[in-house]
């Protein structure tokens, strides 16, 4: 029978769900008091990785499933500390793998939280499972219409694409892009909420220049979001291969992005801020058009004209190279942050290199805050017809001076018409030149022929 104790084991890393946990190291060699319960001594040995001490305690009759006042066991402690050999010993002696502490955390949940991957694999091999997915419903009638049975997703030929969370899978005979959320999602309420927000947002949007949402897995782990797969990859990879684009191509792509973003910003009843607009989140379809993708950091402007974050955006969440200074400075912001990012992408397409390519991300952020912008190094003729002025307006220090995407589209269409006409004139001139050249060749040939006949007759 399990020992009951009012003692608490407070050393080392605490439960991943404890409200006041502290991720500290081991006991540092402190001596455990002689009169303390043998179960607490077992937890202390598990924390220290003392296999011999644990074997002695278990052989003397100490319960391998002893729980302290917080409901924690030696297996919880070993999982937190990442002692694989200790976990193996405890499991071999009959430790319960799915036991929950007072906060509902299991040894597997603790191992995932502290990123002890070897322990995670060992616990899973012994049947340890996480609780139901955060969005799991008990009544089958409550399962959302977009729900996809994970058994229908074939990952046998899966390949990672764009960011690490995305991969290709086959679904009902069609290749799709799958964004998987690891088990760590269960341990972080913010990540769970971000998943819910992204899912809610994707269900609302339908536009030719926005990636199409197909469904999601929410009733089991890992949870997933499934979207259309665009085999031509993202704009980042394309620009790496191609380098600088011709102005007519850059403007064509810019129009695709602007149209997708204008749809998001004018979405009713709530405008959508992408907040992570960068080349790796813009995909190319089979027809050569671009689509805006990945809404993991997007925001719905619910009954408000601006947004203020509780904490600043980190470089782990997105590349600072394309983020507006008001976001980096954790100030209030609105849809104009996407216009700032758009300006940098448009300039990159013409310049052939990312913004401030030689600077570190932190230095790029400082440059934007100091109102510095990437230099225009490409020939002036590539920025003709107001293209440079448009870019400068879009990355204005004052967000209220940046144009809306509706105005950007109008300006780009004007520039596109000018470039298209110039291209047609150039093609016509080239054809005229080729025709003239062909006529001249014929005349020269005829002249030589007449000269030859004249010589023979003479």
Q: Count the residues in the chain.
A: 458
Catalytic hit among 50, 110, 256, 276: 276
DSSP string of 323-391? --HHHHTT--B-THHHHHHHHHHHHHHHHSS-SSTTS-HHHHHHHHHTT------S-GGGGTTTHHHHH
Residue that is written with structure tokens 């050569």 in the block: 288
Consecutive H or E run containing 442? helix 405-457
DSSP state letter for 307: B
For 125, the token pair is 């091999």
Cα(197)–Cα(405) distance, rounded to whole angstroms?
24
Q: Specify whether 110 is catalytic.
A: no
Of 136, 87, 112, 133, residue with least CA distance to 17: 112
Cα(339)–Cα(275) distance, rounded to whole angstroms?
10
Is there a contact between 42 and 7 (Cβ–Cβ < 8 Å)?
no
DSSP state letter for 165: T
Cα(75)–Cα(106) distance, rounded to whole angstroms?
9
Cα(187)–Cα(396) distance, rounded to whole angstroms?
40
Can you say whether residue 435 is alpha, beta or left, with left for phi > 0 and alpha for psi between -120 and 50 degrees? alpha
Would you tell me the crossing angle of helices 38-48 and 51-59 to the nearest 10 degrees? 160
Alpha-carbon separation of residue 354 from 247, 276, 319, 379, 390 (angstroms): 17, 15, 11, 17, 18
Catalytic (active-site) positions: 276
């Amino acid at each position: 029978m399990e020992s009951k104790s009012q003692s608490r084991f407070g050393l080392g890393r605490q439960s991943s769900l404890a409200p006041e946990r502290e991720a500290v190291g081991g006991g540092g060699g402190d001596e455990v008091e002689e009169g303390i319960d043998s179960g607490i001594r077992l937890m202390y040995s598990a924390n220290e990785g003392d296999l011999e001490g644990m074997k002695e305690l278990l052989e003397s009759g100490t319960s391998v499933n002893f729980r302290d006042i917080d409901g924690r066991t030696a297996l919880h402690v070993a999982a937190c500390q990442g002692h694989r050999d200790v976990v193996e010993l405890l499991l071999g002696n009959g430790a319960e793998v799915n036991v929950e502490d007072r906060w509902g955390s299991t040894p597997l949940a603790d191992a995932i939280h502290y990123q002890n991957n070897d322990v995670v694999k060992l616990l899973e091999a012994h049947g340890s499972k996480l609780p139901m997915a955060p969005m799991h419903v008990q009544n089958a009638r409550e399962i959302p219409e977009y729900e996809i049975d994970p058994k229908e997703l074939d990952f046998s030929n899966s390949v990672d694409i764009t960011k690490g969370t995305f991969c290709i899978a086959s679904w009902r005979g069609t290749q799709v892009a799958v964004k998987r959320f690891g088990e760590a999602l269960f341990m972080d309420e913010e990540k769970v909420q971000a998943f819910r927000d992204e899912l809610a947002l994707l269900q609302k949007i339908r536009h030719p220049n926005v990636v199409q949402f197909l469904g999601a897995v929410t009733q089991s782990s890992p949870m997933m979001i499934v979207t259309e797969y665009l085999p031509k990859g993202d704009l980042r990879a394309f620009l790496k291969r191609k380098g600088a684009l011709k102005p007519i191509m850059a403007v064509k792509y810019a129009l695709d992005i602007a149209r997708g973003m204008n749809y998001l910003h004018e979405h009713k009843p709530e405008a959508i801020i992408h907040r992570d607009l960068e080349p790796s989140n813009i995909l190319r379809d089979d027809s050569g058009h671009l689509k805006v993708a990945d809404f993991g950091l997007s925001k719905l402007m619910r009954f408000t004209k601006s947004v203020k974050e509780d904490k600043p955006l980190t470089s782990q969440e997105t590349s600072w190279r394309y983020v507006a200074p008001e976001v980096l400075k954790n100030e209030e912001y609105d849809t104009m942050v996407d216009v700032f990012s758009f300006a940098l992408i448009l300039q990159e397409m013409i310049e052939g290199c990312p913004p401030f390519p030689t600077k570190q991300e932190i230095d790029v952020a400082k440059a934007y805050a100091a109102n510095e912008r990437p230099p225009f190094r490409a020939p002036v003729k590539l920025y003709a017809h107001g293209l440079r002025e448009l870019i400068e307006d879009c990355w204005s220090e004052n967000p209220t001076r940046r144009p809306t995407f509706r105005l950007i589209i109008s300006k780009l269409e004007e520039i596109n018409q000018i470039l298209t006409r110039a291209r047609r004139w150039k093609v016509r001139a080239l054809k005229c030149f080729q025709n003239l050249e062909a006529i001249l060749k014929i005349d020269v040939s005829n002249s030589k022929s007449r000269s030859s006949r004249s010589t023979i007759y003479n």
